[in-house]
């Protein structure tokens, strides 16, 4: 069973970051002025290596322009970002119940989601400069919405 109020952000450290996919495509004569908005799809997968006190957050983001007028085609981007965290008290925040079901502390889950997503926003803003997606900014969301389908 998880203990109450044991998550402490200062016991969590971002150890490594990798961008394994950074792909932007646009038609040759793409007109930026015709962009009305963007479609966005995002997913987060968390995994853990308890013996090393490590957590991995895999974040995949797919974005596509939505042009208000006839563009030859839409610009799109696919990004895969991996964040590695060390959590000093991970064994207290991630426990096995009912056989092999993992139960993750809600505070830790929220922190992993929040830090990974917000850090990705800044990284993408920098990476997208000079591309057809240069005006796209990853929207602010409830970080818990990324955790749907994760371990409880």
CB 59 within 8 A of CB 43: yes
pLDDT tens-digit series, residues 8-32: 999 999 999 999 999 999 998 888 8
Q: Could you give the 3-state DSSP secondary structure of residue 100?
A: coil
pLDDT tens-digit series, residues 80-123: 999 999 999 998 898 777 766 678 899 999 999 999 999 999 99
pLDDT tens-digit series, residues 69-79: 777 899 999 99
d(CA 35, CA 135): 9
Per the listing, tokens 């970002």 go with: 81
Kindly list the domain boundaries of the chain, sorted by start residue: 9-147
Q: Could you give the 3-state DSSP secondary structure of residue 56?
A: strand
Residue 49 has pLDDT above 90, yes or no: yes
To 10 degrees, the CA torsion angle through 89, 90, 93, 99?
-140
Whole-structure pTM value = 0.88
Half-sphere exposure of 102 (CA within 13 A, CB side): 17
DSSP state of 76: E
Mean predicted confidence (pLDDT) in 124-141: 94
| Domain covering 9-147, topology | Bacterial Protein-export protein SecB (3.10.420)
């Amino acid at each position: 069973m998880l203990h109450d109020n044991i998550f402490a952000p200062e016991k969590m450290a971002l150890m490594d970051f990798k961008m394994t996919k950074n792909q932007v495509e646009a038609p040759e004569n793409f007109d930026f002025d015709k962009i009305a908005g963007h479609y966005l799809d995002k997913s987060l997968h968390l995994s853990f290596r308890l013996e090393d006190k490590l957590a991995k957050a895999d974040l995949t983001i797919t974005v596509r322009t939505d042009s208000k007028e006839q563009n030859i085609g839409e610009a799109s981007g696919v990004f895969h970002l991996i964040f590695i965290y060390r959590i000093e008290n991970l064994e207290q925040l991630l426990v096995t119940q009912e056989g092999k079901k993992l139960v993750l502390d809600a505070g830790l889950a929220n922190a992993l989601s929040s830090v990974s997503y917000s850090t990705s926003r800044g990284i993408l803003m920098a990476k997208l400069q000079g591309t057809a997606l240069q005006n796209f900014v990853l929207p602010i969301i409830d970080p818990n919405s990324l955790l749907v389908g994760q371990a409880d």
